[in-house]
Amino acid sequence: MDAIEKVKVLIIGSGPAGYTAAIYAARAGLKPVLYTGGQPGGQLTTTNDVENFPGYPEGINGPQMMMDLQKQAERFGTKVNFGLVTSVDFSSYPLKVVVDETHTVQAEAVIVATGASAKYLGIPSEQTYANNGVSACAVCDGYFYRGKEVAVVGAGDSAAEESTYLANLCTKVHLIVRRNEMRASKIMQQRVMNTPNIEIHWNTQTEEILGDASGVNAVRLISNGERKTISVQGFFLAIGHKPNTDVFKGQLDMDEAGYVKVIPGTTKTNVEGVFAVGDVADRVYRQAITAAGTGCMGALDAEKFLVAKEMELAHS
């Protein structure tokens, strides 16, 4: 074990939420230290074009945007370290975090910004055509498929929402449902049924996504034991997200899906001095701009907490 690193504000994660928290914390003179996690830059590094983030009239490449955010955070004094948090101990104060199983960090405040990961079907062609016809976010990427035919896989509210959203942009949406019913709420199912350019494929599974160098051009399905191929230019996954919270189990309160619970209107968790920002605590919006907004909130909440802690110590 190397020497314990002592920091005022520790930020875990490096997407829009983590970097925004770092910018605000650094400008407040809190000397934040940020550990990037296993995917530096987070989910946006898997997105070629970000066109819905304010301030970029021509859009911006996802990895470039994350590099810009990192530079901005570093400009104000954030120390960015590559490393994955492998265990935490929030049972006593100061808070303790272990990075890469060997390095212990002791922090006065922790901002959790570990994000969430889209669930995939697990077929190789998903990765082959990632960002080239395969997407896990209709709101992010739907615009690129205007006037085209697309497929959505899923049966819950997300799948219903993404299908109806895409139906406004695309000529036709094929909704691929594994069983003979949807899990989505009745009102969302009704919206899908009432949208004329959505075709539901019941009892159907995706066998393969097909395409060439220019991207996806079809999807091969198995329906009631029979194969069929439909022509599509886009394939959207809407089978849910998994928040990256395994390392915090037993330490932070979470909902049944594993998202960190925060006090509404704040980023405060059940542990004093620990704040959760971005997609790790957001199962509804999951956008770069909302993640950045909560990142700002997390830094302000942490600053207020540290000021109160200092006053408490001064009067003890």
The residues annotated with a catalytic role in the active site are 137, 140-141
Nearest residue to 102 (alpha-carbon basis) of 86, 122, 80, 125: 86
> Can you tell me whether residue 18 is helix, strand or coil?
helix
What are residue 71's phi and psi, to 5 degrees? -60, -40
Dihedral over alpha carbons 84, 242, 250, 31 (to 10 degrees): 40
- Residue 85's DSSP bridge partners are 99
Alpha-carbon distance of 124 to 215, in angstroms, equals 14
Alpha-carbon distance of 308 to 316, in angstroms, equals 12
Q: How far is CA 17 from the centre of its chain?
A: 10
Alpha-carbon distance of 175 to 185, in angstroms, equals 16
Instruction: From residue 91, give the alpha-carbon distance in Å to each of 88, 252, 271, 295.
Output: 9, 10, 8, 24
DSSP 104-173: EEEEEEEEE---EEE-----HHHHHTBTTTEES-HHHHGGGGTTSEEEEE--SHHHHHHHHHHHTTSSEE
Under 8 Å between Cβ of 292 and 16: yes
The sign of the dihedral angle between the CA atoms of 267, 272, 274, 280 is negative
